[in-house]
Structure 1
Amino acid sequence: MPIPSEKQTSLHCLFHWAKQTPNKVYLTQPYPDGHTEDITWTQAADQVRRMAGHLRSLDLPERSHIAILGKNSAHWILADLAIWAAGMVSVPMYPTLNGETAEYILEHSEARLLFLGKLDGTADGWDDIKGRLPADLPIISLPMSPRPDTDQWTDITARTEPADPILPDPDDLATLIYTSGSTGRPKGVMHSFRTMISVAEGLQQIFPVGPEDRMLSYLPLAHVAERAAVQTLSLYYGFRLYFANSLETFQEDLQRARPTLFFSVPRLWMKFYMTINEKLPPKKQKLLFNLPILNRAVKRKVLKQLGLDHCRAALTGAAPLSAEIVHWYRNLGLELLEVYGMSENFGYSHANRPGQTRIGTVGVASPGVEHRLGDGDEVQVKSPGQMLGYYKNEEKTREDLTDDGFLKTGDMGEIDASGFLRITGRVKDLFKTSKGKYVVPVPIEGRFNHPQVEAVCVAGANQPQPCVMVLLSEEARAALDNGSQKDDLERELAAELDAVNAETESHQQLAFVAVVREPWTMENGMLTPTMKIKRNVIENHYADRIDGWYQQKRKVIWE
C-alpha cells in the first residue's frame, strides 16, 4: 500500500493535520507546578515554522546536525519537527547519559546546536553532562530546561515570523539515533524519513488506529521504540499525545491520558503487576477473578486503578516478558502484544497481532519484512525500516548487514511453521561453565518469576554451574528494612529456584539465588534506557563477590 503524498514524512503529517483538524489538541504537557498546557495542531505547526525560520537565520551549514537533550515533553517533539522543517538532521540524546558519552555523541555527530529540554539532575545525567558541554556550542532552551541563561524557545517563537517549511524528500537523512551502548561506544544509526514512516504505514495494514486514539509518552524519545510507537504513530494517525510529569505523578498522568494504546517495557509491566499484588494479594485475586458475576467488575476495577481501562491494545517490547505475566494481563482483559524491533530497523520487524497471539513469541514478520535464521540460529531481518548505515562507520555497517541486505540482529531465535519468531537469547550473552557447557541466560531469566523480584540476571561464566542474581522490588526491600520476615521470603526464593531447575537441563541448573542490595538503575549504568539489564556491567560489578558466593554452598545468599 503506497504512502499517501500528504503523509510521506512525519513533517508532511504535521501540516496535514494542522489543515484537516486545526483546532484539535495534539499535545498535552503537564508542568511541575501542576498546570497543563494543550497545544493544538495549528499551534504546533506554527511554533515549528517559527523555530525553523530562526534556525535558518543562523547561517548554519546546509543539512547541519542539531542535538536534542531532555526528558520527554511536547517541545521535544516540536524541536525535532522544527529541525526537519529547517532542512536539518536531528540527533536525540538520552537524558540519562553520563558526561563522557554525551560529549562523545556531540563530537561524533558534529552537532552545530543543542536543544536543551526538561532536565533537573534527578533521575537524569544533567549534573554530569553540564560541565562537559562544548563552550562554543549554541544552546536553545525548551520549557523546563535547567539553563535560563540561554536563548529560550518561547522568546524565539514569539519574535520570529513563521517560515515556509523545507518539506523533505522521503529518502533524505532525517536523524541519527545513537544506540544505548551497552558495550563500547554508542553507534549512530542513520535513518531516512522513509525508514521512519514505515512503522506507521505497516501498522495500518494489521491494526486499526485513528485520530481518536490517545497515548502517553514517557519512555525516552531518544530511543527508537518511543520515537516509532508514539511520536511517529501520533503524527501519522493524528491522535493526541499526553506526557508524564515525573515518576511521582505517573499514575496521575496515566489517569489524565486514559490511553487507548499503551506501549511499555517488561520492567514496568512487572512494576504494575507488583503494585496490584501489594493491594490485592495473588490468593485473593484468584478467588475474586473466579467469581462468576463479580469477576468482570473486579478486573475492570484493577485496570481502572492502573489507568488502562480504556486501553484496547498494549504493546510490550525491548526485552522478554514472562508468559505468566502476559497471561495475567490477558486474564484481566488487556490484550498485551509482544513486539520486536531494533534501532537498526526503526523498531519495524515483528509483532503479535490482535486475536492472533502466540505467547512466548514476538509474533510474525510485519508487512514487507523478511526474516530467516543464519549461522548459530542468529535472526536476520530485512525491513522497510532498515537503516541507511552507521554514521562514519562503514566497517561496522558492512559487518552487520549481509551481502543480500539482511540485518544480523545478534539475537538467536526459532521460527515455527506458522512464521512466529521466538527469541531464545543473545549470541553474545552465551557463556561457558567450567565444564565447557554453554548456558543461554535469557530463557532461564524468563522462568524465574517471584512477585517480589523486580529484575533477574543469570551469570556464572567459568563456574561449575550458573547462578542467578535477583533485585527485589522497592516495596520488598523496604519491608525487609522494617523487620519483615526474611525467612519466609528465603523459603519462597528457594522454592522458585527448585521450580526453575526442574524445567532446566542439568548443565544450566542454577547453583543458588543471590539477593543483591544495590538497585540496578539507568543512573548507575546497570540498565539501558529501556530498562533492559546491562549484563556485562552487572557481571563486572559483582565479579569480586561471586567466588565467595559459590563457596557458601547455600540455595539463597543475601549480599
Structure 2
Amino acid sequence: MMTDRVFRALALHALQTPFKIALRSGARTISYCALAGFLAESAKALASSPRVVGISCDDPLEAALADIALTFYGHVAVHVPPFFSPTQRAHIATAAEIETFIGRSDTLVATESLPRPEACPPLGDPLNLPVAGARRIIFTSGSSGTPKGVIIGERQMAAAIAGLEKAISPRSDDRHLSLLPVAQLLEQVAGLYLPLLAGAEVCFCPEALTALFGGPMEPVMAMMEAARPTTTILVPALLARMVSELKLKRCNAPESLRLVAVGGAKTSPALLADAKAHGLHVYEGYGLSECCSVVSMARPGNPQPGTVGEILDGVRVRIDDGEIVVSGPTVMEGYIGQTPVSGEWRTGDLGRIENGHLIIEGRKDWLIVTPQGRNINPEWVESCLCADPNIPAAGLRLAEDGMLEIIAVITAPVDPARIKHLLANLPQYARPVRVGFAPASHEGLVKPGGGIDRSQLGHLSASLPFHSLCNERKERVA
C-alpha cells in the first residue's frame, strides 16, 4: 500500500543519503535523516491522540510535516484550507468530526504539537513500519461553496502515486517547487509523497498562497530563480501570472525546470503557446478529488496539444453519452455521511478520447443552451479571458434577457476593449454581449484549484455595472 512503499523508501533514503535535503522552506531545511527521526519521535505525541485530526497550519512546511506524521501513524488527516472562510472551516470541523487540531483552530483548542525535526535525536534503529489504515478527508468547495468531504484511503493514494510515477518518472535529483496549498490533494500526491518516494527535495514557497489570489508574484519568481526547481504544479491563473512576469523581465524560466504540470481549469491555447515561448515545459492534466486528483496527464516527450494527455496506468475511463466515467482503484471511498462508492464514478465532465488522449469539453451541468439552440461550454469562453494574467477567473452565464454575459475576476484594472480583443477569435454565437468586473479579493469567488464559484454569478450579475462589448456603452443589468 501507499504508506508501506513511500515510508520504506523514506527510511532507505535516510540510511543511504542521510544528509540530503528532503524538505525546504526559506532558510529552514530538513534532511531525510531528520525527517525519519521526526517520525520516530512523533509516536510519543500521537500515541494517545484521537483518530481524526485536523491540520490547520498557515506554514506549508508545517502542514506537510503534520500530514506525513498522521499518515505514518494511521490517523485520519483533515486539512482545513487556510483560504476557506470561517463558516466553511466550522463546517469541516463538524462534518469530519475533528477531535483535535495540529495548528490553529477557530473552535477548538489545538492540543497536539509535534516535535521539530531539527531537534529530534538521530535515528538509532531502522524506522518502524507505518501503521495501516491511514485516510485523508479532502474538502472541496465545488460549485456550491459548501465543502464536501471526500474520503481517500491508502488504496487510492497508492494507485495515484504509482500511475504518476510511471507517467512522469520522478528522479532523486529532482527539486519540486511546491506552489499550491498542501491542503489540496494534488499537491499532497504529486508534490509531496511522489518526490519523497523518489528521494527528491520539496521546496515550499509560503508566499505562493497570496499570489494565487492576486498578491505579488515577485516572491514566487525570486524563489523559482533561487531554487532552480525541476518540477512544479500550477493552476492556469498562476501560470498566466508567471508568464506575464517572464515577459516583463524579458527572460525565460530556469533551464532546470523540466516539467510544469497544469490543471484545475481549462488552459487557453494562447497561454500554453506563451508559456512554451518562455521556457516553460507545460503538461496538462485532468482529475478530480473524487478520483484521487489525477485521471490523465500529458506525458513528457509526447504532448498532444488540445488534450489532457493519456489515462494513468491502472485507471479506467469510458465515455457514456459524452460524460467521462472513471473506475479503478483511484475512485474515492465515498463522501462523508453518504453511501460508500463502489464501481464507477460519473464525473459530470464532458469529454472524448482520441488516439488514446483525453479531451475535456466542459461540465455537463454548466452547459449553456442559447435561445438560438446553440450549446456552449462556458469554460471554452472563460479560458480566453484567463490568458490575461490580470484575470485569474471568469464566469459566463445566460442572463434573464437571453443574452450571454461574462464576469471577469480581476487583480488589476482591465479595459473592456481588452476583453473584446481576447474574445475576438470566438464565433459570434459564443461571444458575450457585456462584461462585468469583480475583484479577486471577493471572498470565495476564485477557487484555489482553478475556476470561479458559479454559485455567486447570479448575485454578482444583479449588483455589478456591466460594459457593453458591442459599442463600449456602459449598461446596468437588473
TM-score by length of 2: 0.87
Q: Aligned match of 1:512 in 434, 438, 450? A: 434
Q: How does 1:334-349 map to 2 (within 5 A)?
A: 334-349=280-295
Q: How does 1:463-502 map to 2 (within 5 A)?
A: 463-474=401-412, 477=413, 489-500=415-426
Amino acid at match of 1:139: T
Question: Percent of aligned positions with the same letter in both sequences?
Answer: 24
Q: Residues of 2 paired with 1:332 and 1:545: CA distance?
A: 36
The reply on whether 1:392 has 2:337 as its aligned counterpart is yes
Relative distance call for 1:194 and 1:14 in structure 2 (3 A) is farther
Deviations 1:46-67 (A, max 9, x none): 11221222221xx345xx1111
- Give secondary structure in 2 for the equivalent of 1:386: coil
- Give secondary structure in 2 for the equivalent of 1:326: helix
Contact in 2 for aligned 1:494/1:513 (Cα 8 Å): no
Contact in 1 for aligned 2:230/2:257 (Cα 8 Å): yes
Q: In structure 1, what is the equivalent of residue 212 of structure 2? A: none
Q: In structure 2, what is the equivalent of residue 21 of structure 1? A: 17
Q: Residues of 1 paired with 2:289 and 2:259: CA distance?
A: 23
TM-score by length of 1: 0.75
Contact in 2 for aligned 1:434/1:462 (Cα 8 Å): no
Relative distance call for 1:463 and 1:432 in structure 2 (3 A) is farther
Relative distance call for 1:13 and 1:558 in structure 2 (3 A) is farther
- Give secondary structure in 1 for the equivalent of 2:304: coil
Q: Aligned match of 1:133 in 92, 101, 107? A: 107
| Residue 218 of structure 1, CA deviation | 2.4
Q: In structure 2, what is the equivalent of residue 371 of structure 1? A: 317
Amino acid at match of 2:344: F
Relative distance call for 1:383 and 1:558 in structure 2 (3 A) is farther
The reply on whether 1:410 has 2:397 as its aligned counterpart is no
Q: In structure 2, what is the equivalent of residue 190 of structure 1? A: 151
The reply on whether 1:428 has 2:419 as its aligned counterpart is no
Relative distance call for 1:70 and 1:557 in structure 2 (3 A) is farther
Deviations 1:116-162 (A, max 9, x none): 16xxxxxxxxxxxx5x413xx4433xxxxxxxxxx574499769x99
Q: Residues of 1 paired with 2:49 and 2:410: CA distance?
A: 50
The reply on whether 1:530 has 2:441 as its aligned counterpart is no
Amino acid at match of 1:317: G
Amino acid at match of 1:444: V
Q: In structure 1, what is the equivalent of residue 213 of structure 2? A: none
Q: Residues of 2 paired with 1:556 and 1:195: CA distance?
A: 53
Q: Aligned match of 2:37 in 46, 67, 74? A: 46
Q: In structure 1, what is the equivalent of residue 398 of structure 2? A: 460
Which consecutive unaligned segments of at least 5 residues does structure 2 have? 209-215
Q: In structure 1, what is the equivalent of residue 99 of structure 2? A: 112
- Give secondary structure in 1 for the equivalent of 2:8: helix
Q: In structure 2, what is the equivalent of residue 200 of structure 1? A: 161
| Residue 200 of structure 1, CA deviation | 2.6
Q: Aligned match of 1:266 in 216, 228, 236? A: 236
Q: Residues of 1 paired with 2:89 and 2:410: CA distance?
A: 31
Which consecutive unaligned segments of at least 5 residues does structure 1 have? 31-35, 118-129, 141-150, 281-300, 481-488
Q: Residues of 1 paired with 2:124 and 2:44: CA distance?
A: 6
Deviations 1:421-447 (A, max 9, x none): 111111121234456654321112223
More contact order relative to length (CA 8 Å, sep ≥ 6) = 2
Amino acid at match of 2:456: V
Contact in 2 for aligned 1:29/1:74 (Cα 8 Å): yes
| Residue 220 of structure 1, CA deviation | 1.0
Relative distance call for 1:549 and 1:432 in structure 2 (3 A) is farther
Deviations 1:29-54 (A, max 9, x none): 22xxxxx1111111111112212222
- Give secondary structure in 2 for the equivalent of 1:206: helix
Higher helix share: 1
The root-mean-square deviation of aligned C-alpha atoms, in Å, is 3.1
Q: In structure 2, what is the equivalent of residue 360 of structure 1? A: 306
Relative distance call for 1:12 and 1:541 in structure 2 (3 A) is farther
- Give secondary structure in 2 for the equivalent of 1:96: coil
- Give secondary structure in 2 for the equivalent of 1:347: coil
Aligned length: 465
Relative distance call for 1:219 and 1:197 in structure 2 (3 A) is same
Amino acid at match of 2:157: M
The reply on whether 1:179 has 2:140 as its aligned counterpart is yes
Q: In structure 2, what is the equivalent of residue 328 of structure 1? A: 274
Amino acid at match of 1:168: V
The reply on whether 1:168 has 2:131 as its aligned counterpart is yes
The reply on whether 1:10 has 2:6 as its aligned counterpart is yes
Contact in 2 for aligned 1:196/1:232 (Cα 8 Å): no
Q: In structure 2, what is the equivalent of residue 446 of structure 1? A: 383
Q: Residues of 2 paired with 1:207 and 1:549: CA distance?
A: 45
- Give secondary structure in 2 for the equivalent of 1:91: strand
Relative distance call for 1:407 and 1:332 in structure 2 (3 A) is same
Q: Residues of 2 paired with 1:535 and 1:74: CA distance?
A: 32
Q: In structure 2, what is the equivalent of residue 252 of structure 1? A: 222
- Give secondary structure in 1 for the equivalent of 2:274: helix
Contact in 2 for aligned 1:51/1:156 (Cα 8 Å): no
Relative distance call for 1:467 and 1:113 in structure 2 (3 A) is same
| Residue 251 of structure 1, CA deviation | 2.1
Deviations 1:283-334 (A, max 9, x none): xxxxxxxxxxxxxxxxxx422xxxx321111110111111111122223343
Q: Residues of 1 paired with 2:246 and 2:191: CA distance?
A: 26
Specify the structure having the higher radius of gyration (Cα).
Answer: 1
Q: How does 1:214-293 map to 2 (within 5 A)?
A: 214-247=175-208, 249-280=219-250
Contact in 2 for aligned 1:213/1:240 (Cα 8 Å): yes
Deviations 1:256-285 (A, max 9, x none): 3211012111001111122234445xxxxx
| Residue 519 of structure 1, CA deviation | 1.6
Amino acid at match of 1:266: P
